[in-house]
């Protein structure tokens, strides 16, 4: 697998009769299989310039052809499934393998969800893929936020509000209900404001909220209008779900390692791959905090981060996870440059791993630990008492893709 543009051809892993049958179904519009077959029916596979989805299909087709027949049959069965999670799990596994194939890894087998790969120089590797199906319509959220702001700005009130969305707005959110609750609260606040002269009482009563099964919004009075034409909402803060996503990812990664431990698959270096159907809305810095913990210093000039290993807190710093040599993250991004098959990726090395051979073979772009301290002692928690750095004198370096 190279970085050259893929030759785009109509995929063979979904036969034409199946495509026609699923495409003509009157129901199942939320099914990925129906969406896939419908898209294939309308794609122009001769247009190689602006057809990234066709490039993804061609990539999947190539990987299936290059895989052992038994594994290929498993993946094709999953891709033909009307179960969205099962289908996307197969796509996630294939896209993860595609990233590793650029570094020379080849598929050997699969058992109980664990994919065995082998590198001609570095030996075997276990790949465990965690697929995440997200259901956020970011364009819809933005439009609903604008509708909510416009509707509340029409309210006849002397006050200005700041609103915080605790949960994302969705098609199930009722803008009308939110506006009516806000209106009633403002009426009560106006009455109480006129009867309470104590500043502390005013401040305490200047906050409210709207909450139902799908929507949670906090709002508060931040001042009064200087002009009747002033907007009611001066600030609307969109939902910040990074903390919840961090907790969710931490749990998913932990569950994956426990399953591998139960399968007694910890004697071979393991790479965990997190694949999502849309952006997780997490920056590289957020991923570094999740995996490596608190950093001692950060430098934006050379794109390197010196990490302090005395701070225990990163997910990778657990001595029972030393068989995990790295974490790869891929997310669907339809706005990537032409020729890139829809998924943006980044990989993270585990500097505490007992199998260091994976470090130079992680896909680009990647974060990799370099310049480890020369002061080392055997680590009792790792197999074979492999040495590990005992202080924080090592650096996490970001490496972009090599230019041929």
Instruction: Give tens-digit pLDDT for 14-41.
Output: 766 666 677 677 666 677 777 777 777 7
Tell which wins on pLDDT, 103 or 308: 103
pLDDT (mean) for 45-63: 66
The Cα 87–Cα 51 span in angstroms is 21
Q: Coil, strand, or helix at residue 144?
A: helix
Q: Is the pLDDT of residue 337 over 70?
A: no
Which sign does the torsion angle of CA 52, 6, 64, 123 carry?
Answer: negative
Confidence at 44, pLDDT banded by 50, 70, 90: low
What's the pLDDT score for residue 161? 92
Tell whether omega for the bond before 365 is within 30 degrees of 0, i.e. cis.
Answer: yes
How is the beta sheet containing 159-165 ordered, strand by strand?
Answer: 207-211, 216-224, 159-165, 233-237
Tell which wins on pLDDT, 130 or 203: 130
Q: What residue spans define the domains of the chain?
A: 92-135+244-399, 156-231
Contacts (Cβ under 8 Å, ≥6 apart) of 83: none
Single pTM value for the model: 0.74
Q: Is the pLDDT of residue 374 over 70?
A: no
Q: Token pair 């069965």 is at which residue?
A: 77
Calculate helix-pair angle for 32-42, 84-101, nearest 10 degrees.
60
For residue range 207-231, list pLDDT tens digits in order: 899 999 889 999 999 988 888 788 9
Tell which wins on pLDDT, 239 or 351: 351
- What is the average pLDDT value for the chain, to the nearest integer? 79
Beta strands per DSSP E along 29-171: 106-111, 114-119, 123-132, 159-165
Contacts (Cβ under 8 Å, ≥6 apart) of 246: 282, 286, 289, 290
């Amino acid at each position: 697998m190279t970085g050259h543009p893929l030759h785009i051809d109509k995929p063979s892993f979904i036969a034409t009769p199946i495509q026609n049958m699923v495409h003509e179904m009157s129901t199942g519009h939320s099914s990925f299989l129906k969406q896939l077959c419908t898209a294939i029916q309308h794609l122009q596979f001769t247009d190689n310039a602006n057809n990234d989805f066709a490039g993804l299909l061609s990539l999947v087709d190539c990987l299936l052809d290059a895989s052992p027949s038994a594994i290929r049959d498993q993946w094709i069965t999953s891709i033909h499934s009307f179960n969205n999670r099962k289908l996307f799990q197969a796509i996630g596994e294939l896209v993860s393998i595609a990233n590793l194939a650029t570094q020379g890894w080849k598929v050997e087998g699969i058992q109980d969800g664990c994919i065995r790969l082998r590198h001609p120089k570095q030996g075997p590797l276990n790949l465990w893929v965690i697929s995440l199906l997200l259901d956020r319509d970011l364009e819809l959220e933005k439009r609903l936020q604008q509708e909510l702001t416009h509707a509340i700005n029409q309210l006849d009130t002397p006050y200005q509000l700041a609103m915080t969305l605790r949960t994302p707005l969705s098609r199930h959110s009722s803008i009308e209900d939110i506006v009516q609750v806000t209106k009633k609260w403002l009426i009560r606040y106006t009455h109480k404001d006129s009867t309470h002269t104590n500043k502390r009482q005013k401040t305490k009563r200047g906050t409210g909220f709207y909450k139902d099964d799908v929507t949670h919004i906090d709002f508060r009075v931040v001042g009064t209008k200087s002009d009747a034409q002033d907007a009611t909402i001066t600030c609307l803060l969109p939902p910040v779900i990074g903390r919840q996503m961090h907790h969710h990812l931490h749990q998913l990664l932990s569950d994956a390692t426990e399953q591998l431990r139960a399968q007694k698959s910890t004697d071979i270096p393991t790479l965990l791959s997190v694949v999502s159907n849309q952006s997780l809305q997490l920056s590289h810095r957020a991923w570094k905090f999740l995996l490596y913990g608190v950093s001692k210093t950060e430098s934006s000039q050379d794109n390197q981060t010196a990490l302090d290993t005395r701070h225990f807190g990163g997910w990778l710093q657990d001595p029972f996870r030393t068989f995990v040599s790295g974490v790869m993250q891929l997310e669907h991004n339809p706005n990537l440059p032409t020729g890139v098959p829809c998924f943006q990726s980044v990989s993270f090395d585990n500097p505490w791993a007992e199998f260091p051979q994976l470090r130079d073979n992680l896909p680009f772009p990647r974060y990799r630990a370099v310049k480890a301290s020369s002061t080392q002692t055997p680590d009792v928690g790792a197999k074979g008492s492999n040495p590990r750095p005992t202080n924080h004198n090592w650096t996490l370096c970001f490496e972009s893709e090599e230019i041929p």
